[in-house]
Structure 1
Amino acid sequence: MTHTPSSPAAPAITVFVEGIGLLGPGLENWAQGREQLQGVAPWQAARCALPPPMALPPAERRRAGAVVRISLAVGAEAVAASGLPAATLASVFSSSSGDAVNCHEICSALASSDRLISPTRFHNSVHNAAAGYWSISSGAMATSSVLCARDGSFAAGLLEAMTQVAVEQVPVLLVAYDTDYPEPLHRARPIPDSFGVGLVLAPVRSEHSQAQWTLEPAGCLSPQPADRLEDPALEKLRLDIPAARCLPLLRGTALRQSGRVVLDYLEGLQLALQVAP
Structure 2
Amino acid sequence: MAVRPLSVVVRGVGLTGPGLVSWAAAQAVLRGDAAYGPAPAVVPASPRLPAAERRRAGTAIKIAMAVADAACTDAGADPQTLGSVFTSSSGDGNNCHTLCETLGNPNPADRLVSPTRFTNSVHNAPAGYWHIAVGSRAASTSLCAFDASFSAGLIAALAQVHAARTPLLLVASDTPYPEPLHTVRHLPDTLGVALVLAPVPTGETPDAANAMTLCVTLCPAEQAPPETPCRDAALEALRQQIPAARALPLLEALARGVAATVVIAAAAPLVLVIEVVPA
- 2: distance between equivalents of 1:59 and 1:18? 32
> Secondary structure at the residue paired with 1:25?
coil
Are residues 1:185 and 2:181 paired? yes
2:55 corresponds to which of 38, 45, 62: 62
**Structure 2 match to 1:3:** none
Query: Shift of residue 103 of structure 1?
Result: 0.5
Which amino acid letter does the alignment assign opposite residue 221 of structure 2? S
Q: Which moved more, 1:36-45 or 1:113-122?
A: 113-122
Q: What is the distance in 2 between the residues matched to 1:164 and 1:248?
A: 23
Q: Which moved more, 1:249-258 or 1:191-200?
A: 249-258
Question: Equivalences for 1:7-86 in 2 at 5 Å?
Answer: 12-86=5-79
What amino acid is aligned across from residue 262 of structure 1 in structure 2? V
| Residue 159 of structure 2: aligned partner | 163
Asked whether the 8 Å contact 1:19–1:208 carries over to 2, the reply is no
Count of residues paired in the alignment: 267
Q: How does 1:120-269 map to 2 (within 5 A)?
A: 120-203=116-199, 204=201, 205=206, 207=208, 209-216=210-217, 220-223=219-222, 224=224, 225-269=226-270
- Contact 1:16–1:201 (CA under 8 A) maintained in structure 2: yes
SS at structure 1 position matched to 2:195: strand
Partner of 1:103 in structure 2?
96
Q: Distance in 2 between matches of 1:138 and 1:177?
A: 19
User: Partner letter of residue 274 of structure 1?
Assistant: E
**Aligned to 1:266, what secondary structure does the other structure show?**
coil
SS in structure 2 at match of 1:212: strand
**Is the contact between residue 227 and residue 264 of structure 2 (CA under 8 Å) also seen in structure 1?**
yes
Q: TM-score, normalization: structure 1?
A: 0.92
Q: 1:124, 1:264 → 2: CA distance?
A: 29
Runs of 4+ in 1 over 4 A off after TM superposition: none
Shift of residue 206 of structure 1? 6.0
Superposed displacement of residue 222, structure 1: 3.1
Q: Is the 8 A contact 2:3 2:219 kept in 1?
A: no
Q: For 1:140 and 1:220, how far apart are their aligned partners in 2? A: 34
Taking the aligned partners of 1:169 and 1:206, their CA distance within structure 2 comes to 19
- C-alpha distance in structure 2 between counterparts of 1:43 and 1:222, whole Å: 30
Over 3 Å counting, the alpha-carbon distance change for 1:208 and 1:129 in structure 2 is farther
- Contact 1:53–1:69 (CA<8 Å) still a contact in 2? yes
> 1:236 and 1:268 mapped to 2: Cα distance?
22
Q: Deviations over 1:139-180 (max 9, x none)?
A: 111000010000000000001101111111000000000000
Q: TM-score, structure 2 length as denominator?
A: 0.91
Amino acid at match of 1:253: L
Tell me the SS of whatever aligns to 2:266.
strand
Q: CA deviation at 1:191?
A: 0.5
CA offsets per residue over residues 201-233 of structure 1, 9 Å max, x none?
0113363643110124xx544334311112110
Query: How many Å apart are 1:116 and its aligned residue?
Result: 1.9
**Identical columns (%):** 48
Aligned-residue RMSD, C-alpha: 1.6
Q: Are the equivalent residues in 2 in contact too, given 1:91–1:145 (CA < 8 A)?
A: yes
Bigger shift: residues 30-39 or 221-230: 221-230
Q: Report the 3-state secondary structure (helix = DSSP H, G, I; strand = E; otherwise coil) of the residue aligned with 1:20.
A: strand
Equivalent in 97, 108, 116 of residue 112 of structure 2:
116
Greater shift, 231-240 or 253-262, is seen at 253-262
Per the alignment, residue 91 of structure 1 pairs with: 84
Superposition deviation, residue 10 in structure 1 = 7.2
1:91-118 CA-partner distances (Å, limit 9, x unpaired)? 0000001111101111111121232212
Amino acid at match of 1:227: T
Q: Secondary structure at the match of 2:116?
A: helix
